[in-house]
Amino acid sequence: MALINILDHQTIDKIAAGEVVERPASVVKELVENAIDAGASAVTVEIKDGGTSLIRVTDNGGGIEKSQIHNAFLRHATSKITSADDLTKLVSLGFRGEALASIAAVAMVELISKTPQELTGIRYVIEGGMEKEQEEIGAPEGTTVLVRNLFYNTPPRRKFLKQPQTEGSYVADLMEHLAMSNPDISFKFIINGQSRFYTAGNHELQEIIYRIYGKEIAAQLVPFHYEDKGIIIDGLLGKPVINRSNRNYEIFYVNGRYIKSTLISKAIEEGYREYLMQHKFPFCVLHFTIDTDRIDVNVHPTKMEIRIADGPAFYDTVMRAIHEALHETEMIPQVSLADRKEEREEKTNRTTEHKKVSVPEPFEKRRIAETASCPVKSDAIARIYQKNQSNRSQPDSDRVRETADYHVTAKATVKDIMTQKPVQMELFDDKILSEQARVHFEIIGQLFDTYWLIAYEDKLLIVDQHAAHEKVKYERFMKRFREHDIASQTINPPIVLTMNGKERECYLKHAEDFEALGFMIEEFGGNDYAIRGVPLDLYGYEEKEFFREILDELADESVTGTPESIRIRIATMACKAAVKGNMHMNREEAEQLIDELLTLDNPYHCPHGRPTIISMTKYELEKKFKRIVT
Ligand code: ADP
Ligand code: MG
């Protein structure tokens, strides 16, 4: 018969610690939350080696009385609630009374604290759950907790930790969220002796965002306030120009807690829907204040999840509030935005074929509406129309037809050509795209700024310049990439960009890949990095935006694969970007493009599998004109 043992209190603590203390970031979270609960207006967090060797949290809050210090480290000892009833009206961040006990069970902890009422403070040392020292000392008001050698007595748990750099980035991520959730508290965050960021605690959320994400993000925010039905939402909504490629920047807090909630995420995204391209997500920082009896935070010890009563109604409220706020913002014309709009329109027109856009971008949409009643359809409007059509991701042939209907009703011949069902080239069949055939090509001209018409023997060839260009660039770039022959272009002055914790972590992880691609990046102090060089093909394209896009992609947890596949992914993106930046084409360039296309192994499809060229035979045309009746 197996004996049933009652575990001793240290063992129980060690087991329970697993729930609360998973990694350095969870320790920091608990300690900072304690500081906030203690009414601190200034909190300093310092970590070394990702928090594995040292975590220090110093606050200027109310402190712990000498007589209470022992209790503070007991499991289920808390000054914040007295009974389960209190859970429904919880306003403090902590309540379980297990953080200090859990941390002390798996690390070497030293706590120094002094309350305003007492003349002296106390120093208390506890290691692996065992009290080591307790002495009266002179100390400033407030509390300092030092956590050394996390998991020193639980080697298997220590093994589960990631590299110090990665653990450090989790802490940085957390600190950013904590700073944004508490704009009234001044935070100082130090990693390995270097100051990472500092916030003033002056209530200015925008300033905090500036400190963490840099000035470009901070300049593209719309203040947001909503208040009704027991919900208050305050914060900042990012304009569509700063939409991101993953969800990491949908940041929200419920009653001061940083929360992950699919319900809230989806509601925000739905509110943004018209402004989000596929695979893009908004940037926003929102504080929700919800009546405490409508939410349940007691779902998980780390308290990242909550339950919200009447979820569907809540979802609807949030979605509508955001939708309306964004719409209202749109109504206010801004000169600088209009300029950008033109610029973007121009650029998107050139890249229409490459973007899978689920809905038109907001400004463009309005433009279409404005111009719909205009009798004279200028070229620019036609282009927008064309873009709009292509946005619907129709098959290419249909797209061509609709555009043709719109433009060229008078020229029946061209229209008829286009309404013919074009046939995609049979790969290699006739070797039409061969260098021998090339000399017989007669370039007739360009259609709709997009297609080049070529007569060849008894065929009309139609080349999609965008697809062809993309293909050529892609192959060129990949070839150089494979041969480690990527050229860099120096940028002068360098582009300085601010990376937050996650981005930095991601960048450092792939620094060599970026370098292999031709990026030259250097630390620039604090959170800033200087991009001094970019891949030659990328020069002139919005390098910074592109760089961020890659980081977002790589930071997406779902991105896994061999280093090689990740490198290819980066290269593919680099290449797509390069194509975007370079779309204007005259006849001479078209000739060159076709020449180069012919040198490729598979010239018939762009990297996304769309055809670069279609053909129509003379026979088909003659049938159409009823010259041949069969
Ligand atoms: P909880 O926060 O859930 O109450 P903890 O184990 O985190 O549990 O803390 C136990 C108790 O120690 C708290 O209830 C609080 O009274 C006290 N305490 C912890 N950290 C601080 C601090 N930084 N300042 C003042 N009191 C603190
Ligand atoms: Mg606590």
pLDDT digits (tens, 9 = 90+) for 74-99: 877 777 666 666 666 655 666 667 88
Q: Is the CB of 97 under 6 A from ligand 1?
A: yes
Per-residue buried b or exposed e for 221-259, using 16+ beta carbons within 10 Å of the residue's own CB: beebebeeeebebbbbbbbbbbbbbbbbbbbbbbbbbbb
- Distance in angstroms (rounded) separating the CA atoms of residues 306 and 290: 12
Residue with tokens 């405490």: 292
First-last CA distance in the chain: 94
Q: Does position 299 have pLDDT exceeding 70, yes or no?
A: no
Atom number in ligand 1 closest to CA 145: 23
Least confident of 272-276, 326-330, 493-497, 621-625: 326-330
Structure tokens at 161: 């930790």
CA of 501 to the centre of ligand 1 (A): 27
Q: What is the pLDDT of residue 411?
A: 36
Single-letter amino acid, residue 611: P
With a CB cutoff of 8 Å and minimum separation 6, the contacts of 92 are: 37, 80, 81
Average pLDDT (209-225) is 90
Residue spans of the domains in the chain: they are 9-195, 205-327, 340-418, 428-630
Q: Which of 64-78, 105-119, 249-263, 480-494 has the highest mean pLDDT?
A: 105-119
Q: Using most ligand atoms within 8 A of CB, pick from 20, 82, 93, 100 the residue to mutate for ligand 1.
A: 100
Domain 428-630 has CATH 3.30.1540.20: yes
Per-residue buried b or exposed e for 337-367, using 16+ beta carbons within 10 Å of the residue's own CB: beeebeeebeebbbbbbbbebebbbbbbbeb
Q: Which of 37-51, 367-381, 411-425 has the highest mean pLDDT?
A: 37-51
Average pLDDT (544-560) is 71
Proximal ligand: closest to the CA of 101? 1
CA of 251 to the centre of ligand 2 (A): 22
Single-letter amino acid, residue 231: I
Average pLDDT (612-619) is 81
Q: Does position 345 have pLDDT exceeding 60, yes or no?
A: no
Q: Does position 579 have pLDDT exceeding 70, yes or no?
A: no
CA of 240 to the centre of ligand 2 (A): 38
Q: Which CATH number fits domain 205-327: 1.25.40.10, 2.30.40.10, 3.30.230.10, 3.30.43.10?
A: 3.30.230.10
Proximal ligand: closest to the CA of 121? 1
Q: Does position 497 have pLDDT exceeding 50, yes or no?
A: yes
Q: Which of 196-210, 439-453, 514-528 has the highest mean pLDDT?
A: 196-210
CA of 82 to the centre of ligand 1 (A): 14
Q: Is the CB of 34 under 6 A from ligand 1?
A: yes
Q: Does position 25 have pLDDT exceeding 90, yes or no?
A: yes
Return the SS3 of 113.
strand
Confidence at 479, pLDDT banded by 50, 70, 90:
confident
Average pLDDT (133-155) is 94
- Distance in angstroms (rounded) separating the CA atoms of residues 506 and 499: 10
Q: What is the pLDDT of residue 627?
A: 83
- Distance in angstroms (rounded) separating the CA atoms of residues 372 and 383: 13
| Rounded percentage of the chain residues whose pLDDT exceeds 70 | 70
How much is the mean pLDDT over the chain? 76
Atom number in ligand 1 closest to CA 100: 6
Q: What is the pLDDT of residue 603?
A: 72
* List of E strands, 115-249: 121-127, 130-137, 142-148, 186-191, 194-198, 221-228, 231-238
Average pLDDT (138-165) is 93
Query: Which residue CA neighbors atom 15 of ligand 1 most closely?
Result: 79
Q: Does position 571 have pLDDT exceeding 70, yes or no?
A: no
Least confident of 122-136, 338-352, 429-443, 599-613: 338-352
Q: What is the pLDDT of residue 363?
A: 29
Q: Is the CB of 351 under 6 A from ligand 1?
A: no
Model pTM score: 0.61
Q: Give the pairing type, strands 130-137 and 121-127.
A: antiparallel
Q: What is the pLDDT of residue 358?
A: 29
Q: What is the pLDDT of residue 630?
A: 60
CA of 71 to the centre of ligand 2 (A): 13
- Distance in angstroms (rounded) separating the CA atoms of residues 92 and 99: 14
Atom number in ligand 1 closest to CA 101: 6
Domain 9-195, what fold?
A: Heat Shock Protein 90 (3.30.565)
Query: Which residue CA neighbors atom 8 of ligand 1 most closely?
Result: 97
With a CB cutoff of 8 Å and minimum separation 6, the contacts of 85 are: none
Q: What is the pLDDT of residue 32?
A: 96
Q: What is the pLDDT of residue 7?
A: 73
Q: Does position 179 have pLDDT exceeding 90, yes or no?
A: yes
Q: What is the pLDDT of residue 432?
A: 61
Q: What is the pLDDT of residue 100?
A: 93
- Distance in angstroms (rounded) separating the CA atoms of residues 188 and 199: 7
Return the SS3 of 230.
coil
Tell me the per-residue pLDDT of 354-410, one tens digit each, with 9 for 90 and over: 333 222 223 223 333 333 333 333 333 333 333 333 333 333 333 333 333 333 533
Domains 9-195 and 428-630 share a fold: no
Least confident of 105-109, 186-190, 223-227, 498-502: 498-502
CA of 305 to the centre of ligand 1 (A): 21
Q: Is the CB of 94 under 6 A from ligand 1?
A: yes
Residues 98/115, Cβ–Cβ less than 8 Å:
no
Higher pLDDT, 628 or 360: 628
Q: Which of 116-120, 154-158, 297-301 has the highest mean pLDDT?
A: 116-120
Alpha helices in 392-520 (DSSP H): 396-407, 412-419, 435-438, 465-482, 501-509, 511-517
Single-letter amino acid, residue 555: A
